[in-house]
Every structure is written in structure tokens, then in C-alpha cells.
Structure 1
Amino acid sequence: MLSKVVILAGTSHDYVRGFSLDSMVTMIEMNQETWSLKLRSGGRVGYLYFRNGAIVDAAVWELTGHAAALELISWDTPEIEILKFCDRPRRIHTSMMQLLLEGKRINDEAKDQRADEARSLEEAVAHIEGFRLKRGQQLLVALLNRNKHLAGAWLWYSRTIGTLKTIQGALERALFLAPEDKEIAEEKERFERARGAVTDDRVKRCPFCWAPLNMKAVLCTDCGMQLLITRTSLSPGNSSCDSDVVDTSVKRFARVLAREANRNLYASYYMAMCHFNIKDTDRTLELFNDTVALAGEQPFFSDQLKLYLTWMAAQQVSDETGEKASPQAETVGDGKTILVVEDSATTRKVIGATLNMKGYRIIEAVDGLEALSKLSEERPDLILLDIILPKMNGYEILSIIKNKRDLKAIPVVMLTSRDGFMSRMKGKIAGSAAYLTKPFNPDELLQTIVKHM
């Protein structure tokens, strides 16, 4: 059991590495030192007390004497701090050598048990990270019934319960067992900050930082993360979030998705929300598409995506026109193919996400030449054609399409940010089936496609 040793001499500190607890005890006995050894390991803290070279007491948690000494001997690679005094009465009446031998025997017998405990905790954590809280809690209760001294198990148990009093009790137990564990100390501080804002009898936990929140909260009062997309969260000037929490959450959700072959619905959704909070538009849209694909018939997730798509469509044009978007509706694509001719990458993504969500197959072109090339390869069921394009405008492309025998029957819906009578008339004369003015909302787009396909 190699350890780091810190020798305190007044205000000076000497660091001695490579010493085991066995070696330290031998040195104390040989020199008949009256010292206290402060042991730290994994946030836990305990003490071994020596007088004139002989061990007289030990303390860790609620344990003292013989039982405490055996517990401390079992710790792997503790950091040892030497305090050059001892003020404890004698509670241990065996030699340190006998304790070390007994501890080694107990450790050998308990090795498999500790491995089982580690596996059980790992399994419970995997369930909790995967948002299967009830199953994770069941595993932790069983584990803590076998060994109540597992600080990490108490921390994770605190994350599965929904009343402030019970959460507080579990965190205090974890902190008692591992008073120098940074994660536990930070969680306790977060709990103390957040509970002042809680008014509900039962609470939910922030999926990003684990702070307790009111059941209907849409914003974490501690880390500042938006929990779901709302009109308020989409408005300018919404609150900033803790970048460290974002980084930690992204790693956790990525771990869950890798472990579960990208099939965890809630990990996918909250990964999308991480990117939404840091305003990473492209990645947010991509992850929301994945989430909706996993969600099946659950409307909450598709409604979240449609709300985001409406906002994206409005944002694309707002810099140019200042116009805003409106509500959405439902349609089904049945695998039909739509060619989208649009030079704006963001608008293509909004259209593609909207139509993919409803079962349409999308072909994209960024200008007229690419559009005509795509049309020579396959025949779509409908064309969405922007008017303002590089190389040739939408009217020119429409004229070519309507003059080709094999293409002229394809309905063409014109897209433009211009909303004038002459533009509409020009599109109508050229043979377009309909005319959509940007920004359009997903409902308007889908209804137009259904009507003309």
C-alpha cells in the first residue's frame, strides 16, 4: 500500500513519496514516536494514533479503536499526513503488526465483496445516468443495505429521491463518510443554494447539475440551463448557463449514448438541450432530429422540434425582413421525394428537418445548375424553388422545368422573402403551383406541399 507522506514540522512541509503504511508504522515503532497519522483516500479521512511507538487508538466515521484501525488499513494508497502529537486515550491493546496481519487477511477475504460493490455501484449509476431512476435506486438501496459506508452510493442515491429532507439526509451522510470529496462537497453546496427557490413538497432534479427544482421549472436556478424549449427560452437575452456544467453534461450524455448504441431517448434530448443552451444551432437541430426518430408517437419531442424549426425559419429571415413566425400543423409524407433548391444552408436544414420529420425524402441543390443536374438523375414529386439564387434565378429555372416534357408536370412551389403582387404574378405566369413567402412556419409549408403534391 504505497502512500504519499506529508511531514508537518511547524509551518514547513516535507513531502516524502513511496512510503507504505507498513513502512511508516515500522519507523514509528523503531523510533518510539508519539505521532498521529491522518489518512486521506477518495475524500475519506481517518486517524491512527501512536504513543511511544505503540498504536493506542484509531478513528474514522463513527468507528473508533480496533474496528476503525482495520477499516483504515483496508484503504488503498492513502495519503499520510504526520501530526507530531497524540492526545487520545488507549482503546487498542494489540500491536500494530497484529492489526496489519488481521487487516490483510480481512482484505483478502473481502476483495471479491469490494469488487461486487464496485460493479453494483457502476450498474446503478448507469441506470441513473440513463434516466431509469427507479431501477438505479433499487440497486443502491440493496447496496447500502450491505455496506452503509459507501459515500459514492449515498451521493447517487440522493439524486434519485424527490423530497428535500431525504436528499439532504443522503448528502449529509455522503459528506460525513467522505468530507474531503470535492464532488460531494460541491453537490451539498449546490443543494443549499437551490433549495431556497423550491416551494413544492416534491422536487425534480436538474438533468444537468442535479440541483433540486420545482416540478414545473423550465430553467435551473443554479446552473442557468434551460430544461426545455419554450417561447421564453427562444427569446433574445435569455439567461446564460454554466459552461462547466455544459461540458460535464455533454460528456455524461455522450457516455450514455455510446453505452446504449444511441438509443436512449432522454440522453439524446438533453444532449440536444446542451447544444441549445450554448446556441449551437446546427448540432441542436441534428440532435433533435435523432430524438424525434427515437420518440416514436410521443408528441412532446416532435412539438419541441417544430417550435425550434419555427424559430430557425424566423431567424433566417429576421436579419433581412424583421418578420416573425407563427404556429404549426401536422401532415404525413409517405416517403415522397422533394427537391429543395435553396442557397441558404440554414433554410435547407429547417426545410429538411421539417419534411424528414413527416416522412418525406429530401434532395438538396444550392443553385439552378445543381438543381437541373439532380433533375436529370431522378424525378421528385415536388420542387421547392427559391427565387433569389446564384447563377440563374428561380424564374429561369422554372421556365426550363416547364419546357421539358418529362418535368413539366412536377408541381413547383416558389420560395422568396419578397411579398409583393408583381412577384406572385410573375411566379404564376411562369407556371408555379404556389408561392411561399419567407419566413414561413412548418405548418404552412407542410399544408402547401400536401395541397399541391
Structure 2
Amino acid sequence: SMADVQAELSRYPQPKESGSIDEIAFLKQAIIMVYQFQYKEAAAKLAEVLRANRYNYIAWLWYSRIVGKTESILKTLGEAQRWGNADREVLQENKRNRALLVAAPATVKRCPICWTVLVDNPACCSYCKAQLKIHEGEFSKPASQDYIETAVTRLEKVQKFDPKNVHVAYCLALGYFNLDKIERALGFLRVAARYSPGVASYQQAVHILETLLARQESTASARPAAIQPARAASLPKAGQKSILVIEDSPTSRKVISMVLTREGYHVVEASTGADGIMLAGEVIPSLILLDIMLPDMTGFDVLPRLKDMPHLQQVPVIMLTGKTGSADRMLGIRAGSSEYLTKPFNPQKLIEIIKKYL
């Protein structure tokens, strides 16, 4: 949506409007096209911006991300740095890509997660370490998942208004595969396979994920019942305040539950957005802890549905995330959250924030 692109553009100084075109509007349209993998159309829009104002380094940066020729990437990155040499993102992207482009062939591809140049068809990105293909077997998880979570959040917003976009669906599947959320990855991969039935690699990837999911479910069913996601097994005692915890990580839920129980709170747990919404309709929590990255939807999707319930409209919601971006923080606040807490966090910090509202 335009609101999401506005958040993207807010990280840069706003360009002046040209006498012939509205650069901001054209940039918004171009960025949406890039997110939809409509590179030819995006390039045309960016070219119009640059013809009107060759000093617009934002346009040069985005242009560099969608061209495939090594020579063109070097030129556009150079222009972005020439006119935006104080911009951190421009400097970082130049630094990591120029070193790779020295020995690159005439044309290259880019990592769909972090825009890094891919040389010699690698199995994973040299920068964000994301796996670039869905496959069987073990692999090292990315050292930092921030890039992947950011990409997944961005692509899910695009997928909502372009649900049949096969490239978006596949990249979402790849992102969730890297996050080890196999069921979510499989859902998006089936979308890609449905709209492109002739692509054998999609069908093969579906089979791989179905096998992995069956293996995970088999392992989960063999675990002790104590570590399964908990339901509201008991009612709070008289005067005891309840906290609804919507968090997909069993480890995080267990730690949070222990901390809250020790402080005297009654805890209700949910491992998915759907479960959280259902439980929120059955209980009257005094406060809600809501993770942003859930297996079936995002916290940004869950929050408005919680606030639609009359008995929850005044209930404080604290959003939990591994991301530190200000844009995501603003999205949470606009959606109605009271606080935005970055993981990992000190348990005492969590209690201090909760006590601000209870």
C-alpha cells in the first residue's frame, strides 16, 4: 500500500518536486513495482525521476537493485553514493556489493532478502546468510534474522493486494523456510504452485516442505505434553490479573509464563494469531503480550481484530519483536499497541513495563 511505501521513503530525506513530475509520487509507484518484481515497469518510473533530477540518490539506489548487468550496477551504485554519500544504507550497499562485483560475470542476480549481489549461483547469500533455495537436509540458520523478518513483513503487505503474484508468494515461502516456519512456508509455496502449475521446481519444493512438516509434526507429537502450547486451563483467583501471551516460540512462552507467574499474574498462552484471537474472546485479560512474527499471521494483523472486541478496546497491548526498525515500531503504535519491546529483553524490564499499565 502507499502507506507502507511512505514508511519506506521516510528513512530518506524527501526530494523536491520537479517542475515536470512529482518525484515522490513516482518513487512510491516505482518501489511498489520493485516489491511486485515488476522490474521493467519500475525501471521506467525511476528513469523518469532521474531524467527530471539526476541528483535523486534514492532513485539511483533503487535502480541499482533492479538492473542485472554488472557494469550498470556499478554505475548506478556510484551515482547513488556520489549524491547520497552521507546515507548509511547507500554506503553499506556500495561497500558489500562492489567487492563482489569485481570478480562477477557480465550479469548477476540479487538476494531477494537484502539486495546483495549473488556470484557463482551460491546456496546462500554471502551477506545475510539466507538460503536461496528450498531444499532438504540441514543448514545453518542465518546469524541474524532481522533481514529475513523485515523482508517477510514487506512481502506479506504486497501479497495482500497482489495475491496471485507468483514471485512474491515464492519469496515468502523462501523467507519462512529460512525462519524455520515450515507450515507458513508451505502455504505460500502452494499459492505459487497453484498459479504456475507448469513450474516443476515449485512442485518439487512443495513435496520437500510437506516432508519436512510431516517430520516436524511427528517429532512434536512425541514430545512430553508439558511443552505443548498451553490453553486457559484454569480461571484466575479472586483479584488476580490475567495476561494473554500470544507467542509462537515454546521457549519464549515458557520463560515469559514463568516470569509472570512468579509475579503473581494468571497467564493464558496462545501459539498462533488465530488461537490468540479465540482466547481473547473467551477471557478478559488485563494485558496482552503480542509477538509480531506468528506462524499464521502477523501481530499487525492480529491487533486490529483484538481491538475490535468491545471488552479489549482499553486493554493495553505490548508488541514483542526481534526487529529494531523505527518503521515497525510506528506501525505497531498506529495499530493501537501501548508499547513495543525488542527481543531478547531482560525479564525485569518486561515486568517494569507491565506494571506501568497494571
TM-score by length of 1: 0.42
Gapped regions of structure 1 (runs ≥ 5): 1-40, 45-74, 77-106, 322-453
Alignment of structure 1 residues 48-67 onto 2, 5 Å: none
Counterpart for residue 140 of structure 1: 46
Question: Which residue, 66, 91, 95 being the options, matches 1:185?
Answer: 91
Q: Report the Cα distance in structure 1 between the residues aligned to 2:94 and 2:208, rounded to whole angstroms.
A: 36
Counterpart for residue 80 of structure 2: 174
Does the 8 Å CA contact 2:20/2:52 hold for their aligned counterparts? Answer: no
String of CA shifts for 1:220-275, please: whole Å, max 9, x gaps.
Answer: 11110111112xxx322434253121122012202211232x22111111111111
Q: Report the Cα distance in structure 2 between the residues aligned to 1:258 and 1:148, rounded to whole angstroms.
A: 33
Aligned length: 213
- Asked if 1:160 corresponds to 2:66, the answer is yes
- Asked if 1:312 corresponds to 2:213, the answer is yes
Segment drifting more, 218-227 vs 286-295: 286-295
Question: Which residue, 51, 55, 58 being the options, matches 1:149?
Answer: 55
Does the 8 Å CA contact 2:68/2:109 hold for their aligned counterparts? Answer: yes
Q: Secondary structure at the match of 2:105?
A: coil
Counterpart for residue 366 of structure 1: none
String of CA shifts for 1:21-80, please: whole Å, max 9, x gaps.
Answer: xxxxxxxxxxxxxxxxxxxx9767xxxxxxxxxxxxxxxxxxxxxxxxxxxxxx88xxxx
The residue type paired with residue 246 of structure 1 is I
- Asked if 1:296 corresponds to 2:197, the answer is yes
String of CA shifts for 1:383-402, please: whole Å, max 9, x gaps.
Answer: xxxxxxxxxxxxxxxxxxxx
The residue type paired with residue 105 of structure 2 is D
Q: Report the Cα distance in structure 1 between the residues aligned to 2:85 and 2:131, rounded to whole angstroms.
A: 31
The residue type paired with residue 189 of structure 2 is F
Question: Which residue, 138, 147, 161 being the options, matches 1:236?
Answer: 138
The residue type paired with residue 68 of structure 2 is G
Question: Which residue, 124, 128, 134 being the options, matches 1:219?
Answer: 124
Q: Report the Cα distance in structure 1 between the residues aligned to 2:148 and 2:66, rounded to whole angstroms.
A: 21
Q: 1:156 to 1:295 in 2, by over 3 A?
A: same
Q: How far apart are 1:219 and its partner, in Å?
A: 1.5
Does the 8 Å CA contact 2:109/2:119 hold for their aligned counterparts? Answer: yes
Q: Report the Cα distance in structure 2 between the residues aligned to 1:156 and 1:144, rounded to whole angstroms.
A: 11
Q: Report the Cα distance in structure 2 between the residues aligned to 1:200 and 1:310, rounded to whole angstroms.
A: 36
String of CA shifts for 1:321-350, please: whole Å, max 9, x gaps.
Answer: 9xxxxxxxxxxxxxxxxxxxxxxxxxxxxx
Counterpart for residue 280 of structure 1: 181
Q: 1:241 to 1:138 in 2, by over 3 A?
A: farther
Gapped regions of structure 2 (runs ≥ 5): 1-9, 223-358
Question: Which residue, 252, 265, 283 being the options, matches 2:154?
Answer: 252
Counterpart for residue 288 of structure 2: none
Does the 8 Å CA contact 1:241/1:277 hold for their aligned counterparts? Answer: no
Q: 1:42 to 1:228 in 2, by over 3 A?
A: closer
Q: Secondary structure at the match of 1:300?
A: helix
Q: 1:311 to 1:251 in 2, by over 3 A?
A: closer
Q: Report the Cα distance in structure 2 between the residues aligned to 1:215 and 1:127, rounded to whole angstroms.
A: 27
Q: Report the Cα distance in structure 2 between the residues aligned to 1:284 and 1:128, rounded to whole angstroms.
A: 22
Counterpart for residue 80 of structure 1: none
Does the 8 Å CA contact 1:194/1:221 hold for their aligned counterparts? Answer: no
Q: Report the Cα distance in structure 2 between the residues aligned to 1:257 and 1:269, rounded to whole angstroms.
A: 11
Alignment of structure 1 residues 44-443 onto 2, 5 Å: 113=20, 116-195=22-101, 199-214=104-119, 216-230=121-135, 234-260=136-162, 262-314=163-215, 316=217
Q: Report the Cα distance in structure 1 between the residues aligned to 2:12 and 2:113, rounded to whole angstroms.
A: 23
Does the 8 Å CA contact 1:256/1:264 hold for their aligned counterparts? Answer: no
Counterpart for residue 386 of structure 1: none
String of CA shifts for 1:129-179, please: whole Å, max 9, x gaps.
Answer: 111112211222232122211111100110111233321221121122122
Q: Report the Cα distance in structure 2 between the residues aligned to 1:133 and 1:164, rounded to whole angstroms.
A: 16
Q: 1:241 to 1:165 in 2, by over 3 A?
A: farther
The residue type paired with residue 243 of structure 1 is Q
Q: How far apart are 1:207 and its partner, in Å?
A: 0.7
The residue type paired with residue 155 of structure 2 is F
Does the 8 Å CA contact 1:42/1:181 hold for their aligned counterparts? Answer: no
Q: Secondary structure at the match of 1:159?
A: helix
Q: How far apart are 1:314 and its partner, in Å?
A: 4.5
Q: Report the Cα distance in structure 2 between the residues aligned to 1:175 and 1:221, rounded to whole angstroms.
A: 22
- The Cα RMSD (Å) is 2.9
Q: Report the Cα distance in structure 1 between the residues aligned to 2:202 and 2:179, rounded to whole angstroms.
A: 20
Q: Report the Cα distance in structure 1 between the residues aligned to 2:47 and 2:128, rounded to whole angstroms.
A: 29
Q: Report the Cα distance in structure 2 between the residues aligned to 1:130 and 1:157, rounded to whole angstroms.
A: 15
Q: 1:244 to 1:194 in 2, by over 3 A?
A: farther
The residue type paired with residue 273 of structure 1 is L
Q: Report the Cα distance in structure 1 between the residues aligned to 2:115 and 2:202, rounded to whole angstroms.
A: 22
Q: Report the Cα distance in structure 2 between the residues aligned to 1:301 and 1:192, rounded to whole angstroms.
A: 32
Q: Report the Cα distance in structure 2 between the residues aligned to 1:42 and 1:236, rounded to whole angstroms.
A: 37
Q: Report the Cα distance in structure 2 between the residues aligned to 1:281 and 1:313, rounded to whole angstroms.
A: 10
Q: Secondary structure at the match of 2:66?
A: coil
Does the 8 Å CA contact 1:140/1:157 hold for their aligned counterparts? Answer: yes
TM-score by length of 2: 0.53
Q: Report the Cα distance in structure 1 between the residues aligned to 2:37 and 2:212, rounded to whole angstroms.
A: 29
Does the 8 Å CA contact 2:183/2:213 hold for their aligned counterparts? Answer: no
Q: 1:291 to 1:147 in 2, by over 3 A?
A: same
- Relative to its length, the structure with more helix (as a share) is 2
Q: Report the Cα distance in structure 2 between the residues aligned to 1:319 and 1:254, rounded to whole angstroms.
A: 27
Q: Report the Cα distance in structure 2 between the residues aligned to 1:119 and 1:43, rounded to whole angstroms.
A: 14
Does the 8 Å CA contact 1:225/1:242 hold for their aligned counterparts? Answer: no
The residue type paired with residue 123 of structure 1 is Q
